[in-house]
Amino acid sequence: VEAKHGDDGKNVDNHVKEIQGFGPPLGREVPESIGGDPEKKKPEGDDANIPKPKKFVVDSNSPIYKSGDPSQVGELGKAVTINKNQLSPEEKKTYDQGFVDNAFNQYASDMISIHRTLPTGVDEECKTEKYNDDLPDTSVIVCFHNEAWSVLLRTFHSVLERTPPHLLKEIILVDDFSDKEHTKQPLDDYIAQYPKVKLLRLDKREGLIRARLRGAAMAKGAVLTYLDSHCECMEGWIEPLLDRIKRDSSTVVCPVIDVIDDNTFEYHYSKAYFTNVGGFDWSLQFNWHAIPERDRKNRKRAIDPVPSPTMAGGLFSIDRAYFEKLGTYDPGFDIWGGENLELSFKIWMCGGRLEIVPCSHVGHIFRKRSPYKWRTGVNVLKKNSVRLAEVWLDEYKTYYYERINNQVGEYGDISERKALRDRLQCKSFKWYLDNIFPELFVPGDSVAKGEVRNRGYSKEGGGQMCLDSAVGEEHHNKAVTPYPCHAQGGNQYWMLSKDGEIRRDESCVDFAGQDVMIFPCHGMKGNQEWKYDHKKNQLMHKVTNKCLEMTKDGARLQMRPCETTNEYQQWVFKEFDEQ
Ligand code: LR7
Ligand code: MN
């Protein structure tokens, strides 16, 4: 999506000229061979395919190091729009490489001041909030792996410049074994100007989770605050967080995470009224949802802190001693993922509280793919999630296991983590679901679940077909199709709820007269109510009285008058509960 120009009515031509006027943006990897003939410099033999070494050039005259120039692009968090067609071939290459390396528009970031200003139209009520004037100080820990120069610098400058000095004990940058040149000497030289910024270099790739623990181990602040390495903190971000911890050190707090556009770097401030809270689904994926009614009705003001069943993971503050008491993160977790749910569950289950604080705002660059190299061969995320399920989910772990077809794999020793849970005398996962996240649909309440296999044989593929669809917001309004049964769970795992919904997580199979589609579950039956006849194996749609049928070629689903002998109308749920 080509975002619109941020502010005025300047046409694209002018805008591009303005951008080009900056000269080569600073903080850029430039090929060593720039200006020379790249062919001549090609190494010989086996090394011929290794990319040319890059040299990092710091142009200290670049305007990105200056602040207070309101005419510069991206100020006030506005979008930077680049018309790629107007770039020179060399610039185009740099532009594309920026996306390859980071999965965001590094070229745009490299044009924006690392001290840029952010939107001013913030919630009025937050401006007059008063906080305790004896707040604890914090260490801000930022782990990174090859983060882009301008983005990393913008992250820590936003902390440095928008945190009152007496509250900022230090900023700890943890370099998780980056190999890009700008993360070496140039970074050492740069941070040498700022005594509060410390740099810890790991001598092997540890992954985000262990990197965070290493940062915590050297931190001196009363509170630990974690940020991703591509964030921008707004003025006044820290006080509302520390205030909650000052009141109760077992409260763990998250700022509102505003979206920084991965293409234009536009900062989208999210008003308190729209604050979302964290949840999760039974594939143990984090998700966002609206504040539930039961909390909404207790709220006096939109800016009041709101309890959240889970946290996104990257941005939060926690009392240092409390984090230790909770056993920090499971050190058996690898690289990335699952740590946010582990911490969330144990905060609630072991007597603490997790909140989102609407007056605290930090922007984060959300991207569509992960730009790093991952160790292949191990499903890291699954291993972490299985450890999490084993330790914290009690009998509910089976719902996750069904989603991965019970292929739990090797997950290592978890006795220490179970001992921790006993020691802290934490409550059950059932307590957590009943009290903290009652909105979550629990598969145990369903009538039937598992794959839904059609008894007919696909004329085309020859095999048996199953109901198959991805779910979630991006998939709503898309047709559900048959797909060869793979017995892996995943997109073929469905639940038939007591209300007759065929659902996975918050998505339901819906028929409104056209295609059989995926739609957000609304809980009002209607187009989402199905009646499963276990004897005839028919899935009858209540309001239309029609039966779900697979076409003979196995390509589509259709709704037809019910016929008892038609195998293409017969569906078998893997598990069916007689009562
Ligand atoms: O090997 C690595 N070593 C690292 O140090 C891989 C990553 N990292 C760093 C990286 O530079 C970044 O600062 O770890 C941080 C997180 O990695 P991202 O930004 O690539 O991933 P993400 O934004 O999708 O991360 C979300 O999920 C992660 C895994 O569970 C962590 O919990 C992140 O902190 C989390 N980010 C957020 O919560 C920000 C809001 C996103 C949402 C929702
Ligand atoms: Mn991130």
3-state secondary structure of 420: helix
228 Cα: distance to centroid of ligand 1 (angstroms): 6
Are 111 and 18 within 8 A, CB to CB?
A: no
Question: Cα separation of 565 and 287, whole Å?
Answer: 42
Nearest alpha carbon to residue 442 among 452, 434, 450, 453: 434
Q: Which residue has the higher pLDDT, 546 or 373?
A: 546
Q: For 463-476, what is the mean pLDDT?
A: 92
pTM of the model as a whole: 0.84
pLDDT at 50: 52
pLDDT at 22: 32
pLDDT at 71: 79
Does ligand 1 have an atom closer than 6 angstroms to the CB of 288? no
Q: From the CA of 371, which ligand is nearest?
A: 1
Mean pLDDT of the chain: 89
Q: From the CA of 363, which ligand is nearest?
A: 1
Pair of tokens at residue 546: 């029609």
Question: Cα separation of 178 and 186, whole Å?
Answer: 13
Strand partners, 482: 467
pLDDT class for 15, splitting at 50, 70, 90?
very low
Least confident of 29-33, 52-56, 198-202, 248-252: 29-33
Least confident of 1-10, 179-188, 305-314: 1-10
Are 158 and 126 within 8 A, CB to CB?
A: no
533 Cα: distance to centroid of ligand 2 (angstroms): 47
pLDDT at 414: 97
Q: For 188-215, what is the mean pLDDT?
A: 96
Task: Look at residue 41 and tell me whether its pLDDT is greater than 90.
Answer: no
Q: Read off the pLDDT of residues 73-120 as tens digits, 9 standing for 90 and up.
A: 999 999 999 999 999 999 999 999 999 999 999 999 999 999 999 999
Q: Return the ligand 1 atom nearest residue 339 CA.
A: 30
526 Cα: distance to centroid of ligand 1 (angstroms): 40
Are 164 and 190 within 8 A, CB to CB?
A: no
Nearest alpha carbon to residue 384 among 366, 364, 368, 404: 404
Least confident of 1-10, 217-226, 343-352, 485-494: 1-10
Nearest alpha carbon to residue 145 among 89, 207, 195: 207
Q: From the CA of 200, which ligand is nearest?
A: 1
Does ligand 1 have an atom closer than 6 angstroms to the CB of 222? no
Tokens 């490489």 belong to which residue?
97
Are 199 and 175 within 8 A, CB to CB?
A: yes
Displacement of CA 503 from its chain's centroid (Å): 23
pLDDT class for 579, splitting at 50, 70, 90?
low
160 Cα: distance to centroid of ligand 2 (angstroms): 19
pLDDT at 51: 52
Q: Give 491-528 as a DSSP string.
A: GG-EEE-TTS-EEETTEEEEESSSSEEEEE--SS-GGG
pLDDT at 393: 98
Q: For 362-377, what is the mean pLDDT?
A: 83
Does ligand 1 have an atom closer than 6 angstroms to the CB of 78? no
Are 58 and 26 within 8 A, CB to CB?
A: yes
Q: Which residue has the higher pLDDT, 555 or 38?
A: 555
Q: Which residue out of 336, 360, 388 has the highest number of ligand 1 atoms within 8 Å of its CB and is therefore the one to mutate?
A: 336
Residues in CB range of 67: below 8 A, 6 or more apart? 113, 115, 116
Tokens 């919630």 belong to which residue?
123
pLDDT at 18: 29
Degrees to nearest 5, angle at CA 332 with 336 and 101: 20
pLDDT class for 11, splitting at 50, 70, 90?
very low
pLDDT at 34: 30
Q: Return the ligand 1 atom nearest residue 313 CA.
A: 32
pLDDT at 373: 75
Task: Look at residue 501 and tell me whether its pLDDT is greater than 60.
Answer: yes
pLDDT at 1: 33
Q: Read off the pLDDT of residues 419-436 as tens digits, 9 standing for 90 and up.
A: 999 999 999 999 999 999
Task: Look at residue 383 and tell me whether its pLDDT is greater than 70.
Answer: yes
pLDDT at 36: 32
Q: Return the ligand 1 atom nearest residue 337 CA.
A: 30
Q: Return the ligand 1 atom nearest residue 226 CA.
A: 34
pLDDT class for 20, splitting at 50, 70, 90?
very low
Does ligand 1 have an atom closer than 6 angstroms to the CB of 204? no
pLDDT at 58: 84
Q: Which residue has the higher pLDDT, 29 or 356?
A: 356
pLDDT at 337: 86
CB burial class (10 A; 0-12, 13-18, 19+) of residue 343? buried
**ipTM for the predicted complex:** 0.95
Q: Read off the pLDDT of residues 258-295 as tens digits, 9 standing for 90 and up.
A: 999 999 999 999 999 999 999 999 999 999 999 999 99
Question: Cα separation of 511 and 529, whole Å?
Answer: 9
- As a whole-number percent, the residues of the chain with pLDDT over 90 amount to 78
Does ligand 1 have an atom closer than 6 angstroms to the CB of 340? yes
143 Cα: distance to centroid of ligand 1 (angstroms): 9
pLDDT at 242: 98
Q: From the CA of 368, which ligand is nearest?
A: 1
Q: Which helix (H) or strand (E) holds 355?
A: strand 353-365
pLDDT at 245: 98
Question: Cα separation of 76 and 234, whole Å?
Answer: 11
Q: Which residue has the higher pLDDT, 350 or 5?
A: 350
pLDDT at 49: 54
Does ligand 1 have an atom closer than 6 angstroms to the CB of 228? yes
Task: Look at residue 325 and tell me whether its pLDDT is greater than 70.
Answer: yes
367 Cα: distance to centroid of ligand 2 (angstroms): 8
